[in-house]
Chains A and B, each alone.
Chain A
Amino acid sequence: MAETIINVVLFSMLVMTALAIVRLERLFAIVMLAGVFSLLTAMLFVTLDAVDVAFTEAAVGAGISTVLYLGTIALTSRGCKPPSRPNTVPLLVCIATGAVLVWGTLDMPNFGDAEAPAQVHVGPYYLTESVEEIDVPNVVTSILASYRGFDTLGEVAVVFTAGIGVLLIISQMRGWGRREEEEEEDS
C-alpha cells in the first residue's frame, strides 16, 4: 500500500516536471528542471528495486548531463525560438500515438506477474544457474557482462562511436582544423 502511494506521488511529480519543461521558455530553467526530472526518475527506479538502473541514472543525470546541457547552451543560444508554424497537427499525431501505446499496454501482463513472458523465458535460468556457472552475487552484473557479453560489447562500441562523433564535430583537434583551413583556402 505504502509503495503504491510512493509510486503515485513520484509519478505525479514527474508528470508535473515534464509539463513545466514543455511550458518554460528559458533554457537555463529547463536545464535545472531536467536535473530534477532525472532525480525523480532515479527515485522511481529505486522504488521499483532496479538498483543498477537507478545507479546509472544517478551518475549520468546528476553530474554529466547538466554539464553537457550547459556546454551546448554556451555554443548555441540561451532562449528557445518560437515555433514557426502552428503545431496542432504534430499535437494530434502525438496524442494519437500516445493513445495507441496506452491501449497497447492493456494487453501487457501486470507488473511483477510471474507468468509474464519476460519471467518464464531465460530469466529463471539466469537466476538459478548464475550461482553455479558464474559465482557472482550480483546477477545483473553476471547477465550484463557474461550471458549478454555481446550486447554489452555493442553498447561499448556505441559509446565509443558517439564519443568519436562528438570529438569530430565540436573539438578543435589539429587534423580537423587543418582540413577546414585548406577548404577555406580552396574556396
Chain B
Amino acid sequence: MRHHLILRVITKLLVGPIILYGLYVQFHGDFSPGGGFQAGVIIAVAFILYGIVFGLRAVQAALPAWIVHRLVALGVLVYAGVGVLNMFAGYEFLNYGAFDPGHPSHGQHLGILWVEAGVGITVTGVMIAIFYAFAGRPPRMGDDDW
C-alpha cells in the first residue's frame, strides 16, 4: 500500500493509542472491565493493523517472528512460574501468598497482576504469530477463481 498516504498517516496515528489502550486494559483490569486476554488481543490488533497497511516486512522489522514465537511460550512460563514460585515459598500452587507474606491481600493483588501479565503475553504472541503465519503464505487462489 505504498500510495495510500491517508491510510499510512492515520495508521501511524492510531497504532500508538491502541497499544496504550491495551496497556490500560491490562493493568487497570482489576479496577474496571478487562484483563490479560482482552489486552493481549488489543495489542495484537495494533501490530496487525500496522502489518496490513505497511506490509509484513515492515512489521517484522519492528517485531521479528522469533521474538513472537518466544512470547507465546513466555506467557505460559510466567503464569506457571508464579505458581511454582509459591510452591517453593511454602504455599499452595497459585496461592499468591509468597509475594507479601505479612499482608495476604497485597500478595493476592500482586499475584493477579503477574498472572494477568502472563495471560496477556501469551495471547498477544499467539494472535500476532497466527497473523504472521497467514500473511506470510502466498495466496492459493488463481485469478480465475477470483
* Contact across chains for A141 and B35 when beta carbons are under 8 A apart: yes
A97 and B38 alpha carbons, distance in the complex (Å): 33
Interface bin, chain B: 35 or more
* Residue with the highest number of chain B CB atoms closer than 10 Å, among A78, A140, A142, A145: A145
Q: Does B73 sit within 8 A of A, measured CB to CB?
A: yes
* Contact across chains for A141 and B119 when beta carbons are under 8 A apart: no
Count of chain A residues with Cβ under 8 Å from any Cβ of B? 48
* Contact across chains for B141 and A160 when beta carbons are under 8 A apart: no
Q: Which residue of A lies closest to B130 (CB)?
A: A166
* Contact across chains for A76 and B140 when beta carbons are under 8 A apart: yes
* Contact across chains for A145 and B33 when beta carbons are under 8 A apart: no
A149 touches which one: B31, B45, B83 (CB < 8 A)? B83
Q: Which residue of A lies closest to B41 (CB)?
A: A59
A68 and B130 alpha carbons, distance in the complex (Å): 8
**Contacts across chains A and B counted by CB atoms under 8 Å:** 151
Q: Which residues of A contact B111 (CB under 8 A)?
A: 145-146
Interface of B is mostly: helix
* Contact across chains for A171 and B136 when beta carbons are under 8 A apart: yes
Q: Which residue of B lies closest to A160 (CB)?
A: B76
Q: Which residues of B contact A155 (CB under 8 A)?
A: 37, 119
A28 and B125 alpha carbons, distance in the complex (Å): 27
Q: Which residue of A lies closest to B128 (CB)?
A: A163
Residues of A within 8 A of B (CB): 51-52, 54-56, 59-60, 63-64, 67-68, 71-72, 74-78, 132-138, 140-142, 144-146, 149-150, 152-153, 155-157, 159-160, 162-164, 166-167, 170-172
Residues of B within 8 A of A (CB): 25, 29-35, 37-38, 41-42, 44-45, 48, 52, 69, 72-73, 75-76, 79-80, 83, 94, 96, 104-106, 108-109, 111-112, 115-116, 118-119, 122-123, 125-127, 129-137, 139-141, 145-146
